[in-house]
Structure 1
Amino acid sequence: MNQTIVLASASPRRSELLESAGIAFRVLPADICEDPFPGEEPVDHVLRLAEGKARAASEKTDGRFFLGADTIVLCDGEIMGKPKDHDDAFRMLKKLSGVPHEVVTGFAIYDRERDGAVIEAVRTKVYFKQLRDEEIEAYIATGCPFDKAGAYAIQGGAAHMVQKIDGSYTNVVGLPLCEVVEQLRVMGALPQ
């Protein structure tokens, strides 16, 4: 039985993670507004966006299972999405310097046949070393921060900035792979 999985994301990192688990899928990015609602809690925000992306993709193509995800960085109550420009990236990295923060990824798997979704948020605590301004500038100059929540990629040039993590590494990359694979199995999208 072909249970087509559609990844509602243009993120190459999410695709790489699913490929690393041997999961067959196709990509159909969902274009939805990602602005937070006034007063919306951070976890509610990522869960809403993840489900919104999965459902939006399901309206554009065939398939049964649709996987949406959204990742944010939380530091001192601020939701850090993707930086707008150089100054925003510098501000974010300076704020993360030397303090722990949380990476929260919400994911949703929408099953069109059952017209229902499993929605979950995974949290990982990340500890950055104290960063020098020159390190931040050098990292920004690579261009890496601009399409990443919190202006960094743990799997890339920012790996040397991270002292330790508590929780899922793949969550920090952008998709909590262990939890996603388990839910896909439970829902029947993957063999038991």
Structure 2
Amino acid sequence: MKSIEIILASGSPRRKEILNNLKLYPRVIKSNIDESHKPNEKPHALVHRLSYEKAYAVAKELDQGLIIGSDTIVVVDNQILTQPKTTTEAIAMLTAISGRTHQVLTGMTLIHQPGHEVFTQVAMTNVIMNPLSETWIQDYVATGEPMDKAGAYGIQGIGATLVKRIDGEYSTVVGLSVQTLMDGFKSLNLNYFDLIKDQLYE
């Protein structure tokens, strides 16, 4: 099988790390799309659309390769929580999810060039949070960790202390669903072990 270049249409170090752990070492090309929500857009539709738009923005500039686009949001009471812009927003988000269950939705789109073969899917994980005191929330926000995370916490970092348990796939919460990625490879008739064979014996 001819070697296929993997391109990650995201600047997220967490998504890149997940791929690296799978022996997939992508070239990163950030898509820089407008990620604004459309009026009355539902959470599932939002992550589905944004993951596709991220992948497409990069794929249309490339003749070859497998482009991966992904988008993650946190949803509580049907309200979408994205990345907080201020510490006040971060505190409000963490207060809203304290001691409750919320959903993390991660959309993923794979585009295989040439041919523009497309796979797109949304994964969901339920996250049950510990009750968080006002002081705990303020101390956590003061670390700076919440400021580039959907829902204002990072489960792979200090934010793990906030989470009681999860029901679903851990990597979905981090930002790139491994199982969805494997589903995408199958849908596009790509063998995962063929994709990583050049890395296995280095």
Shared fold per TM-score greater than 0.5: yes
Could you say what secondary structure the match of 2:158 adopts?
Answer: coil
Looking at structure 1, the residues matched to 64 and 153 of structure 2 have their Cα atoms a distance apart, in angstroms, of 33
Alignment of 1:79-94 (within 5 A): 79-94=80-95
Deviations 1:5-25 (A, max 9, x none): 100000000000001011132
Paired residues of 1:75 and 1:102 also in contact (CA < 8 A)? yes
Q: Corresponding residue for 1:63? A: 64
- AA aligned opposite 2:158: G
Could you tell me the TM-score, scaled by structure 1's length? 0.95
Looking at structure 1, the residues matched to 117 and 20 of structure 2 have their Cα atoms a distance apart, in angstroms, of 25
Could you say what secondary structure the match of 1:158 adopts?
Answer: helix
Could you say what secondary structure the match of 2:192 adopts?
Answer: coil
- AA aligned opposite 1:91: A
Alignment of 1:109-148 (within 5 A): 109-148=110-149
Paired residues of 1:5 and 1:63 also in contact (CA < 8 A)? no
Q: Corresponding residue for 2:198? A: none
Deviations 1:112-141 (A, max 9, x none): 222231100000000001100111111111
Alignment of 1:22-41 (within 5 A): 22-41=23-42
Answering whether residue 147 of structure 2 is matched by residue 156 of structure 1, we say no
| Residue 63 (structure 1) shift | 2.9
Could you say what secondary structure the match of 1:88 adopts?
Answer: helix
Deviations 1:54-95 (A, max 9, x none): 010123345321100000000011100000101000000000
Give percent identity, aligned residues only.
Answer: 36
Alignment of 1:68-79 (within 5 A): 68-79=69-80
- AA aligned opposite 2:96: K
Query: CA separation of 1:7/1:189 partners in 2, compared to 1, >3 Å: closer, same or farther?
Result: farther
Q: Which runs of 5+ in 1 are unaligned?
A: none
Q: Which runs of 5+ in 2 are unaligned?
A: 195-202
Paired residues of 2:62 and 2:113 also in contact (CA < 8 A)? no
Paired residues of 2:74 and 2:81 also in contact (CA < 8 A)? yes
Q: Corresponding residue for 1:10? A: 11
Could you tell me the TM-score, scaled by structure 2's length? 0.91
Corresponding pairs, count: 192
- AA aligned opposite 1:174: G
| Residue 189 (structure 1) shift | 6.3
Query: CA separation of 1:9/1:189 partners in 2, compared to 1, >3 Å: closer, same or farther?
Result: farther
Looking at structure 1, the residues matched to 107 and 84 of structure 2 have their Cα atoms a distance apart, in angstroms, of 19
Q: Corresponding residue for 1:168? A: 169
Q: Corresponding residue for 2:45? A: 44
- AA aligned opposite 2:3: N
Looking at structure 2, the residues matched to 77 and 102 of structure 1 have their Cα atoms a distance apart, in angstroms, of 9
Looking at structure 2, the residues matched to 177 and 7 of structure 1 have their Cα atoms a distance apart, in angstroms, of 14
- AA aligned opposite 1:33: D
Paired residues of 1:3 and 1:189 also in contact (CA < 8 A)? no
Looking at structure 1, the residues matched to 191 and 92 of structure 2 have their Cα atoms a distance apart, in angstroms, of 41
Instruction: Give the superposed CA RMSD.
Output: 1.3
Could you say what secondary structure the match of 1:29 adopts?
Answer: coil
